[in-house]
Amino acid sequence: MPNLKFYKVRDQIVGEPDVLEPAECGWLDGYRFGDRLLEGVMFRIGFDADGKLTASVGEDSKAYFARLNAKKWLKEAVKTAIVTDVFSTSATANDDAAVLYDHSKSHSEQIAHFEKEPVFLPRAEHSQTK
C-alpha cells in the first residue's frame, strides 16, 4: 500500500543524497493532463484528513474552472499526480522543487529520480508550499 508524502527538495549536489523537507502539497499545471483546455490552471495536490490524495484548483483559476466538468478534471489531476516526477512548490509554478515520495518503495523505485536514499529533514514550522 502506498505511503505518499510531499517534500520540497532543499539541496541537490551531484553524487550526494538529495535533502528533502516535508511539504503539505505540490502544484501541478493542468496542461499535463488537459492540454490547452487547462493550460495555466494550477492544481493543488495534497491530502485530505484520511490521508487520501486530493486535488483542488488555485484561486486564480476558480472562475474559469467552474465552467468545466470539475469532477472529471479533479480526478484526472489526482491520477496524473501519482505518476508525476516533480511538482511546483507554489501556484506560481516558478520552480520544480517538490516531489511526491512513496515511503513503501525504495529510492530507486520512485517516479522522481533519486540516485541515493534522500536525507529527510523534520517538518519545518513554516512551509513555503501551502
Which residue range(s) make up the domain with 71? 4-120
Q: Would residue 130 count as lying in a domain?
A: no
Average pLDDT in the 94-119 region? Answer: 94
Note the pLDDT tens digit of each residue in 92-101. 999 989 999 9
Note the pLDDT tens digit of each residue in 79-94. 999 999 999 999 999 9
Buried b (16+ CB within 10 A) or exposed e, 32-63: bbbeeebeebbbbbbeeeeeebbbbbbeebee
Note the pLDDT tens digit of each residue in 1-40. 789 999 999 878 888 999 999 999 999 999 999 999 999 9
Q: Would residue 74 count as lying in a domain?
A: yes
Number of structural domains found in the chain:
1
Could you tell me if 89 and 95 are in contact, meaning their C-beta atoms sit under 8 angstroms apart? yes
Q: Would residue 9 count as lying in a domain?
A: yes
Q: Would residue 126 count as lying in a domain?
A: no
Question: 125 pLDDT exceeds 80?
Answer: no
Q: Would residue 102 count as lying in a domain?
A: yes
Question: CA angle, 49 as apex, 33 and 94 as ends, to 5°?
Answer: 40
Average pLDDT in the 67-72 region? Answer: 95
Question: 127 pLDDT exceeds 50?
Answer: no
Q: Would residue 125 count as lying in a domain?
A: no
The x, y and z cell numbers of residue 19, run together, are 535533502
Q: Would residue 104 count as lying in a domain?
A: yes
Q: How large is the greatest C-alpha to C-alpha distance in the chain, in angstroms? A: 48
Q: Enter the pTM of the model.
A: 0.88
Q: Would residue 36 count as lying in a domain?
A: yes
pLDDT, residue 124, reads 64
